[in-house]
């Protein structure tokens, strides 16, 4: 069993991005800029935004966080996004999810300029990703693909089961895998007999938000398991969607939680923002 070290790979990507930012600054006088919209006081969202701001600082980005109260109106958020769409210093716009219930998340994401949609959530980018065209791709699935590349894990012809079908993780993940010529089964909350799908798969990718959902009898010997979930138990312990202690001994590769996919999500946000900034210099 080999651990897929997301933290180590993310640090490698951060160093590469920082070097490219230096070049961009000296040759084109461009500093990549990332703007984040944070609505309300969700502790998890606040923690993620802090991590993103810290990562931006480390690689030399300009970054700004627009903190808004829970009671903010949809029109006020849209006005802020449109202001950032028109700001030449901003290359990436990120709306931290989830948004309060009175806000139409789909509408908000559609307002973001597709050229600044570094989260890869705009329908324009989703459509291009599905058809295999160059686009901004959702950071978590993109990070998983980067892990496969780093560890020389071949995807072509593999049977892969994706557990979870969210617009942010499951659906884009499945599409990227299909584009890589894998045979993909997508499962979700309405799937009958989840184990019958996961137990046949060469690779199992889980992003369901259910602590320890995948048990050792649900994966075959030698499987590769990617755990995207991160859940806080009442004890305060962070665990994934996979029962790591039970499943790990059966795997050829597995990601830990924390230290697996999480750091890669932020690393890919930096990569996407840098990509946007480079297009500004063309």
Residues with catalytic roles: 52, 96, 119
3-state helix, strand, coil in the chain (%, to 5): 45, 15, 40
R_g (Cα) of the chain, nearest Å:
19
Neighbours of 156 (CB within 10 A): 8
d(CA 33, CA 48): 18
Q: What angle do CA 252, 256, 257 make, to 5 degrees?
A: 155
> Are the beta carbons of 88 and 113 closer than 8 angstroms?
no
Structure tokens at 178: 């299909």
Structure tokens at 71: 């009671």
d(CA 46, CA 49): 5
d(CA 121, CA 11): 25
SS3 category, 149 = helix
CA-nearest of 1, 48, 3 to 147 is 3
d(CA 20, CA 14): 10
């Amino acid at each position: 069993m080999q651990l897929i070290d997301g933290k180590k790979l993310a640090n490698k990507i951060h160093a590469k991005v920082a070097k490219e930012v230096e070049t961009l600054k000296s040759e084109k006088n461009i500093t990549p800029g990332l703007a984040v919209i944070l609505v309300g006081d969700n502790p998890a969202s606040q923690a993620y935004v802090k991590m993103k701001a810290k990562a931006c600082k480390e690689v030399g980005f300009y970054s700004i966080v627009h903190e808004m109260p829970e009671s903010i109106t949809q029109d006020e958020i849209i006005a802020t996004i449109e202001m950032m769409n028109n700001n030449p210093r901003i290359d990436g716009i990120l709306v931290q999810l989830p948004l309060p219930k009175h806000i139409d998340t789909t509408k908000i994401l559609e307002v973001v300029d597709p050229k600044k949609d570094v989260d890869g959530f705009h329908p324009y980018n989703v459509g291009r990703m599905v058809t295999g065209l160059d686009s901004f791709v959702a950071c978590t699935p993109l990070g998983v693909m980067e892990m496969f590349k780093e560890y020389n894990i071949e995807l072509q012809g593999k049977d892969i089961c994706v557990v979870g079908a969210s617009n942010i993780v499951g659906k884009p993940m499945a599409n990227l895998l299909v584009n890589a010529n894998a045979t993909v089964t997508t499962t979700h909350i309405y799937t009958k007999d989840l184990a019958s799908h996961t137990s046949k798969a060469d690779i199992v990718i889980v992003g369901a938000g259910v602590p320890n959902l995948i048990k050792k009898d649900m994966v075959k010997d030698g499987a590769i398991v990617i755990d995207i979930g991160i859940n806080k138990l009442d004890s305060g312990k962070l665990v994934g969607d996979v029962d790591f202690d039970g499943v790990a001994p059966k795997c050829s590769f597995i990601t830990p939680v924390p230290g697996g996919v999480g750091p890669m999500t932020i690393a890919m946000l930096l990569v996407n923002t840098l990509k946007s900034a480079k297009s500004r210099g063309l």
